[in-house]
Amino acid sequence: MFDPRLLRAFVGILDTGSFTRAAEHLHLTQSTISQQIARLEASVGHALVDRDARPICATASGERLQGYARRILTLQQEAQAALGDPTGLTAIRIGLAEDIFDGSMAALFRDFARGRREIRMDVTSGLSRDLTQRFRDGEFDIAVVKEPAPSADVRASFPEPMGWFEALDADHDWPDPMPLVVFSPGGLYRDQMFERIERERRRWYVAFSSSSLPNILVAVEAGFGITLLPLATTQGRRVRSYVPFGTEPAIAVSVYSWEQTGPVRELLEWMSSALELRCHGSVSSAGVAS
């Protein structure tokens, strides 16, 4: 299925003969237009515009697509006019690292959508590595992921403190081998945990594994073993710092977006402010037992 936004960028370039003029006409940045054309070309497997021509024109494949693109856009406009009510016609697709989607972030999305009847929030939570790939594949407009270091095209990034935790009522030394509570394979903290344990020259085994943050926390509270988590995720839980290991280097909470205009830009500002507050709060509480 063709994304109308990509088709609109394609038609805009053909109508104006220039990436720059198309960007001005569509109220986007030139880099966004370039990214959208690259995504459209990747999806069809052909070059669609001759970038060396002046003015820029369609390739043979682009000429074949052009008529279909214009009809698709026309049909979309007719369907919108026929529906009349704009409610939910504009989707903002968001991918969030699983532990970022909490009550405060859900409330932020609710408040942002309130009064903006045309906006439909399409939110997906999951593992950062999977979300990053899906963002690069064009499935999300905005992605908030955890990573060791941000990429060059990051819109905003905040350091989030990490720490080792055990059950609040743990009253014993952990046995050898040491039991670990970990995320499923592909989870970002999993490899980091294994590397630290190996540096400590401790033997270990996986006592509990899950892709769900609440399940991880329940397992730690129940005394299944120790785990590594962002400090912000443990607030209000019956866990405490595992003092022998203490903290780990902060992990980057990175915000990525294809667009920087209109409602997407406004939502980015809301989310960035909330994430900065979250990470700053974690820094302030670092070293304090939960």
User: What DSSP letter does each residue of 141-181 carry, written as one string?
Assistant: SEEEEEESS--TT-SEEEEEEEEEEEETT--SPPPSSEEEE
Cβ distance 256 to 143 under 8 Å?
A: yes
Average pLDDT over the chain, rounded to an integer: 89
Cβ distance 91 to 235 under 8 Å?
A: no
pLDDT for the residue numbered 158: 94
pLDDT single digits (tens) 165-212: 999 998 878 888 999 999 988 777 888 899 999 998 999 999 999 988
Of 121, 192, 206, 204, the C-alpha closest to 163 is: 192
Q: pLDDT band at residue 286, thresholds of 50, 70 and 90?
A: very low
pLDDT single digits (tens) 223-243: 999 999 999 889 899 999 999
Secondary structure (3-state) at 121: strand
pLDDT for the residue numbered 32: 92
pLDDT at 287 over 50: no
pLDDT single digits (tens) 74-119: 998 887 776 666 666 688 999 999 889 988 999 999 999 887 888 8
Cβ distance 178 to 202 under 8 Å?
A: yes
pLDDT at 68 over 80: yes
CA distances from 259 to 28, 30, 152, 197 (A): 7, 10, 15, 41
Q: Which of 99-108, 140-149, 184-193, 255-264 has the lowest mean pLDDT?
A: 184-193
pLDDT single digits (tens) 10-21: 999 999 999 999
pLDDT at 278 over 90: no
What's the CA gap between 32 and 260, in Å, rounded? 8
What's the chain's Rg over C-alpha atoms? Answer: 23
What pTM did the predictor assign?
0.66
Cβ distance 186 to 129 under 8 Å?
A: yes
Judge: domain 4-83, CATH 3.40.50.11540: no
- Residues of the chain within CATH 3.40.190.10 domain(s) are 90-156+252-285, 160-249
160-249 folds as D-Maltodextrin-Binding Protein; domain 2 (3.40.190)
Q: pLDDT band at residue 120, thresholds of 50, 70 and 90?
A: confident
> What are the residues whose beta carbons fall under 8 Å from the beta carbon of 159, sequence distance 6 or more?
250, 251, 252, 253, 279, 283
Of 74, 56, 183, 208, the C-alpha closest to 37 is: 56
Q: pLDDT band at residue 289, thresholds of 50, 70 and 90?
A: very low
Cβ distance 241 to 164 under 8 Å?
A: yes
CATH architecture of the domain with residue range 90-156+252-285 = 3-Layer(aba) Sandwich (3.40)
pLDDT at 288 over 70: no
pLDDT for the residue numbered 83: 67
pLDDT for the residue numbered 16: 94
Secondary structure (3-state) at 279: helix
Q: Taking residues 29-48, what's their average pLDDT?
A: 93
Of 182, 150, 126, the C-alpha closest to 250 is: 150
133-152 CB burial, b ≥16 within 10 A, e <16: ebbeebebbbbbbbbeebee
Share of the chain above pLDDT 70, in %: 93
